[in-house]
């Protein structure tokens, strides 16, 4: 059969989406080489399952990275390559994707970033933060929405007890400052292997660590700063 070398948004006229009943799509072995090809699948409103493998886009990434990239870009996807996309997997994928975007986005306008990453505004609303700044010029005053430096570089460690001299596992991670504590715990579950509901999270301070409470608050609201160490205790 014919091999596809790209996908574009399709409409059936009057800017209405086409193939409204399409639920499953098989794309193995095609010549897809851009993430934009995956982004374009969002136009199919009923699409919930795809199979995509053996494509040039994935030549330079491992299977886990490829799966997370597809999952993060397609919010309605329920099954990928024959296996269910779990809520935990989706959350991890979306946080990872947003973190990657934010790492490249400082000083850029949200509109410009969204042209390359269409889900960016939606993910930013769920997990991240924008800084509204007025940029003036001699001829006009223009309001621009740009990304501020919202990433926190943290050292996250699992410990057997607060008095333990050595961590069980330590990971360095960049996360958005406006990530809620609940979503941070979900991230720690993946990084450290401790169930989110069994975590007690502390900022490492002197003379003693300070526990972070209120899962609905953001890391910024809880006073977490760039460069700090976070201790995670299983309780």
The CATH number of residue 51's host domain is 3.80.10.10
Q: What is the model's pLDDT at position 147?
A: 58
Convert the pLDDT of each residue in 146-167 to its tens digit.
Answer: 555 567 889 999 999 988 778 9
Provide the strand spans (E) within the chain. Answer: 24-26, 49-51, 79-80, 83-84, 131-136, 141-146, 151-159, 169-176, 199-203, 210-211, 229-234
Q: What percentage of the chain has pLDDT greater than the value 90?
A: 45
- State pTM to two decimals: 0.57
Listed residues 68, 85, 102: the one ending a domain: 85
Q: What is the model's pLDDT at position 48?
A: 96
Reply yes or no on whether the pLDDT at 59 is more than 80: yes
Q: Look at residues 97, 46, 45, 53 and name the one whose alpha carbon lies nearest to residue 71.
A: 97
Reply yes or no on whether the pLDDT at 8 is more than 60: no
Q: What percentage of the chain has pLDDT greater than the value 70?
A: 82
Listed residues 41, 64, 85: the one ending a domain: 85
Q: Provide the domain count of the chain.
A: 2
Average pLDDT, the chain: 82
Residue 19 binned pLDDT confidence (cut-offs 50, 70, 90): confident
- Structural domain contains residue 170: yes
Q: What is the model's pLDDT at position 135?
A: 26
Convert the pLDDT of each residue in 185-215 to its tens digit.
Answer: 999 999 999 999 999 999 998 888 999 999 9
- Structural domain contains residue 179: yes
- Structural domain contains residue 67: yes
In whole angstroms, what is the distance from residue 54 CA to residue 57 CA?
Answer: 9
Q: Look at residues 226, 219, 36 and name the one whose alpha carbon lies nearest to residue 128.
A: 219
Which has more confidence, 176 or 85?
Answer: 85
Reply yes or no on whether the pLDDT at 225 is more than 60: yes
Listed residues 70, 85, 100: the one ending a domain: 85
Neighbours of 69 (CB within 10 A): 19
- Structural domain contains residue 186: yes
Reply yes or no on whether the pLDDT at 144 is more than 50: no
CATH label of the domain that carries residue 227:
3.10.20.90
Q: What is the model's pLDDT at position 25?
A: 93
Q: What is the model's pLDDT at position 148?
A: 53
- Residue 72: is the preceding peptide bond cis (ω within 30°)? no
Average of per-residue pLDDT across 26-43: 90
Q: What is the DSSP letter of 216?
A: T
Q: What is the model's pLDDT at position 13?
A: 52
Which of 10-24, 29-43, 140-154, 214-228 has the least mean pLDDT? 140-154
Which has more confidence, 125 or 43?
Answer: 43
Range of the domain at 57: 24-85
């Amino acid at each position: 059969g014919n091999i596809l070398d790209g996908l574009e948004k399709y409409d059936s006229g009057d800017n209405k989406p086409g193939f409204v009943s399409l639920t499953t799509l098989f794309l193995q072995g095609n010549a897809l080489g851009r993430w934009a090809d995956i982004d374009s699948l969002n136009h199919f409103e009923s699409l919930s399952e795809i199979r995509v493998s053996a494509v040039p886009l994935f030549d330079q990434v491992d299977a886990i990275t490829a799966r997370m990239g597809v999952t993060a870009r397609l919010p309605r996807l329920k099954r990928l390559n024959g296996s269910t996309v779990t809520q935990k997997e989706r959350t991890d994928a979306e946080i990872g994707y947003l973190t990657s975007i934010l790492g490249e986005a400082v000083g850029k306008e949200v509109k410009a970033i969204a042209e390359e990453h269409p889900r960016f505004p939606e993910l930013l609303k769920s997990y991240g933060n924008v800084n509204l700044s007025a940029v003036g010029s001699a001829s006009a005053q223009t309001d621009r929405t740009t990304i501020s430096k919202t990433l926190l570089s943290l050292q996250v460690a699992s410990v057997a007890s607060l008095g333990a001299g050595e961590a069980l596992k330590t990971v360095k991670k960049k996360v958005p400052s406006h990530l809620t504590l609940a979503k941070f715990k979900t991230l720690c579950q993946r990084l450290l292997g401790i169930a989110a509901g069994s975590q007690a999270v502390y900022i490492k301070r002197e003379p003693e660590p300070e526990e972070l409470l209120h899962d609905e608050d953001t890391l910024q609201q809880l006073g977490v700063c760039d460069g700090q160490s976070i201790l995670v205790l299983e309780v």
